[in-house]
Amino acid sequence: MAELTFKSAPIHTNGELPAVGSHAPDFTLVDGSLSDKTLADFAGKTVILTVNPSYDTGVCMATARGFNARAKDVDAVVLMVSADLPFAQKRFCEAEGLDHVVALSCFRSTFAKDYGLEMVDGPLRGLTARAVIVIGDDGKVRHSQLVPEIVQEPDYEVALAAAQ
């Protein structure tokens, strides 16, 4: 169980992020056409997972915009993951012109639990904590960051450097 804060109040996740150097757990997420996407769909590519509670919040929106702006400069696929329904993710991406990221929903998967990101207490319990995980083209975790304060953005530069 990991601890982070939400507006300075402690909250916990169901586990720990995958360790750097370990094989990334497989996942099944849902895209805008309601099709399943797995880690195997991105085999041979470096993957940046930017995980957020909901793109209906200002910090999550800023994080999506931040990765979209930087994604064109890296040789990696950026997957923005949240529990939002794919329809809401699609509307958000279209409204914001986010075309360098792929929105995927964990609404019908075990992704949050498998990656140790399900918040188990606090007002956002049941949603994913904010995190960034970089998975190399060999399927191994190169970088992982559980953002310590849920209302803060992640460290973009460290994540992008790990993707190189």
pLDDT value of position 106: 97
- According to CATH, the topology of domain 3-163 is Glutaredoxin (3.40.30)
DSSP3 helix / strand / coil % (the chain, rounded to 5): 25, 30, 45
Calpha distance 89→144 (Å, rounded): 23
Is 60 a catalytic site residue?
A: yes
**pTM, rounded to two decimals:** 0.95
Question: pLDDT tens, position by position, for the chain (164 residues)?
Answer: 999 999 999 999 999 999 999 999 999 999 999 999 999 999 999 999 999 999 999 999 999 999 999 988 899 999 999 999 999 999 999 999 999 999 999 999 999 999 999 999 999 999 999 999 999 999 999 999 999 999 999 999 999 999 98
pLDDT value of position 155: 94
Going from N- to C-terminal start, the domains of the chain cover 3-163
Q: Which tens digit of pLDDT belongs to each residue from 94-125? A: 999 999 999 999 999 999 999 999 999 999 99
Annotated catalytic residue, options 59, 60, 135, 163:
60
98 exposure class (CB count in 10 Å sphere: 0-12, 13-18, 19+): buried
